[in-house]
Structure formats: C-alpha cells, structure tokens
Amino acid sequence: MSHTEAFKEFYKRCKEMDIEETVEVALNAETEEEQEFVELISNFMMQTRQKEVIAQGKF
C-alpha cells in the first residue's frame, strides 16, 4: 500500500470514529506527542461534523 493509499484509509477510518473512540485512543497513547496528534485529529473531525450539521440547518 502506498503512503497516499494509507493516508486515505487513515482519513476514512478517522471519519468513522465517534468521540468516545477518539478519547479512548488518546488515553491509550504511548507518548505525549501521540496523544496530541490524536487530539488534533479528533478536533478536526469534530469541526468537520459541526460544519455539516450547520450546513444542514440543524443548528
């Protein structure tokens, strides 16, 4: 699998995760840097979902 394909798969999997799963992943991070990375991804995905909800007029 190429890096591009791996990244696209990673993005797809992140989109499928719910907030509880991302919290669990962050809590199980092996390093502070890994935890920060998970939190950044989680925040991005949450912002994306918020934009979708706002665009649908649900907020």
pLDDT score for 19: 85
pLDDT score for 13: 94
Per DSSP, the chain holds a count of helices (H) and strands (E) of 3, 0
Backbone angles phi, psi at 24, to 5 degrees: -60, -45
Mean pLDDT on 40-48:
92
- Per residue in 18-31, pLDDT (tens digit) is 888 998 999 999 99
What is the pTM for the complete model shown?
0.77
